[in-house]
Amino acid sequence: MNNVFETTIAGRKLIGEFGKLGMLSNCALKISYGDTVILVNANVSESPRAGIDFFPLSIEYQERLYSVGKIPGGFIKREGKPSDKAILNARAIDRPLRPLFPKGFRNDVQIVCTVVSVEHDNLPNILAMNGASLALCLSSIPFTTPVGTVSVGLVNGEFVINPNSKQREESDLDLTVCATKDRVMMIEAGGKEVPEDVMYDAIIFGFEECKKIAQFQEEVMKKYGKTKIEVEMYTADKQIEKEVKDFAFEMIKDAMYITEKAAKNEAMDKVKEKISEEFAEKYPDNISDINEVVYKTQKEIVRNMILNEKRRPDGRKFSEIRNLSAEVGVLPRTHGSGVFTRGLTQVMTVTTLGSINEGQTIDGIGEETSKRYMHHYNFPSYSVGETRPLRGPNRREIGHGSLAEKALEPLIPSEENFPYAIRLVSEVLSSNGSTSQASVCGSTLALLDAGVPIIRPAAGIAMGLVTSEDLQQEEILTDIQGLEDFFGDMDFKVAGTEKGITAIQVDTKISGLSNSCIKTAINDAKKARLEILKVMNECISEPKKEVSKYAPKVFTVTINPEKIKDVIGPGGKTINKIIDETGVKIDIKDDGSVFVTAENYECGNKALEMINGYAKEVKVGEIYLGRVTKISNFGAFVAILPGKEGLVHISKLDVKRVNKVEDIVSVGDEILVKVTDIDSMGRINLSRKDAIKESEEESNTDNK
């Protein structure tokens, strides 16, 4: 049976269709917005996965290059592993949906969003988020709280829902809001130093539109949705829960009230040993139940401490930041480095500068094809004192790197003002909460140390939240540490400058955030950010005047685009000659911009001189200092510019009669010549006689 439904968002139709494609999926939804089309398939396992203590939700976002009429580049002509952008989109779909599943649900759920057609005016990631929610609502999976998602732009001071490609180019804000009809579930934003009040208004503006979409999904679910399956929800055995709590509650409480992290962890390890000694033999098959009770007890104690006793696990005030320190120039041979420390969270970022052509080429379905600024984030196991195999970057590392990149991107100087490719790598040395925002701070330090003229320094902070069960009581925490993130309800990351916000990322573990919570978190984050920036400015307040002596030197020149072929030469002969003689790298753009990357100023200037020579146009009437390259019985050939050679006829060699060319010049001589003519075939005629006469006339004029 084929079912079709539609609504209008921002003046464009969103159309859903299911029952026609993918007949064996629990729900196979084809959803379109304009010419952007995504297939969303949602499925669930028949029974819970045994032996796990988490909800196994898997979100896959698959980009098909045929969706934009591309054939994959490279040797293997098919899509490979997901792009970073696809991974980020999958994370964005996961974050608002996961908290809305029933507690104790342990069945595997997989949602696959396959992008099959893309119109750049209508973003596929926004459509996929709405499609994933709709597919879950229509399926038999026990998910009953739909979420709507929109993009919000800020164009000429006006908010725009789901801005098109041109509007996104002009927008000062790139905001994604995801919400139920009651509360905001997720916020993702990048902005050009957007003021706090404007950012808050933009979020609420998007929230109002999300409510309508969520309401529409709810109506579709009531009309077309399958009956929800009854599944077994995991709960710890009540008898075990009572016995463990009676035995260990006070011991756990004493451990959790220790303010120093290492001592707290050591105390909890001892408590767990005692619990194991007490119950391992009695309940050998219920280890997961015992661990669940311990976790819930820790969570209960920490949350009660914050909500009712008004104190934090480490003794700080709710608005207090941990101890801060900043340092630059920590690595002698890198182009720039900085270390930022906040409590037990510590990140070292390293800046590397390269030639423009060392930027990243992007082979994806988006509008972006390349970028010259890149940020990568590494989270090794030693940062939390653990041992695990070192693999490639995981989804979390890609997400945190992207967030830090987004926070700094509006502050990176233009290619014209700083003609380098820039790569930042943040190494997490120690982690106890919000390493992504410490990366923003460490990266700012490293950029300034490298001499990158960023618009302004940026910093970031993470805000936390603890709420009561009925959501009526809430406490917002500044600079959350790992424990508060683990047992809390929100991770609200805000990065920016003293002028405004450049990035936001919000995750929640509850059924959404109140408007007042969002507003308070944004404003409190600004106070903390200014405090952090003050410490960073005391370390380094402006970019170094020159790049490192170990960094490449970049020179730029603009030539007539019509002369690009002369600089390159037939088969690249000319440009390769310049590179061979100077050892530089050369990048030439279609608009005539030329970037020369050299190890030192001498090689760079020599290459520029050669490029200018090949690009310079020979003009009739101008005088050049040329070099004799060849002699014949009828004249001398003279090179006046690189790749530009002309003939001085014997009759034009001197003011007096010349019998033999060798009487006047020899190969290798430098002589002044005047261009008298360029014929239809491009041959240049020169005159030494005219150049001498003109020089004598000028000399006589000066003597008078």
Could you tell me the CATH superfamily of domain 324-539? Answer: GHMP Kinase, N-terminal domain (3.30.230.70)
- Say if CB 202 and CB 171 are below 8 A apart: no
- pTM value is 0.88
Tokens coding 635 = 């004249």
Domain 3-224, CATH:
3.30.230.70
- What's the DSSP call for residue 344? T
Delimiting residues of CATH 2.40.50.140 domain(s) in the chain:
623-703
* Closest listed residue to residue 494, CA positions, set 460, 534, 458: 460
Given a cut of 90, whether residue 252 has pLDDT beyond it is yes
- Confirm or deny that 172 is annotated as ligand binding: no
Delimiting residues of CATH 3.30.1370.10 domain(s) in the chain:
553-615
Tokens coding 7 = 């609504």
* Closest listed residue to residue 140, CA positions, set 180, 91, 107, 112: 107
- Give the pLDDT confidence score for residue 470 in this predicted structure: 83
DSSP track, 141-188: SS-----EEEEEEEETTEEEES--HHHHHH-SEEEEEEE-SSSEEEEE
- For range 378-393, the mean pLDDT: 90
**Residue 294: enclosing H or E segment and its boundaries?**
helix 287-307
Given a cut of 70, whether residue 15 has pLDDT beyond it is yes
Given a cut of 70, whether residue 410 has pLDDT beyond it is yes
Query: 366: helix, coil or strand?
Result: coil
- Give the pLDDT confidence score for residue 704 in this predicted structure: 53
More confident residue, 364 or 529: 529
Delimiting residues of CATH 1.10.10 domain(s) in the chain:
238-307
The domain made up of 623-703 has a fold known as OB fold (Dihydrolipoamide Acetyltransferase, E2P) (2.40.50)
Given a cut of 60, whether residue 703 has pLDDT beyond it is no
- Give the pLDDT confidence score for residue 615 in this predicted structure: 83
* Closest listed residue to residue 513, CA positions, set 226, 147, 167: 147
Delimiting residues of CATH 3.30.230.70 domain(s) in the chain:
3-224, 324-539
Q: Over the chain, what is the mean pLDDT?
A: 93
- For range 467-492, the mean pLDDT: 92
How confident is the model over 291-318, as pLDDT tens digits? Answer: 999 999 999 999 999 999 999 999 999 9
- Say if CB 393 and CB 83 are below 8 A apart: no
More confident residue, 351 or 78: 351
- Give the pLDDT confidence score for residue 1 in this predicted structure: 65
- Give the pLDDT confidence score for residue 232 in this predicted structure: 86
Q: Which CATH class is domain 553-615?
A: alpha beta
- Say if CB 178 and CB 96 are below 8 A apart: yes
The domain made up of 238-307 has a fold known as Arc Repressor Mutant, subunit A (1.10.10)
d(CA 485, CA 491) in angstroms, rounded, equals 7
- Confirm or deny that 485 is annotated as ligand binding: yes
- Give the pLDDT confidence score for residue 699 in this predicted structure: 66
How confident is the model over 173-232, as pLDDT tens digits? Answer: 999 999 999 999 999 999 999 999 999 999 999 999 999 999 999 999 999 999 999 988
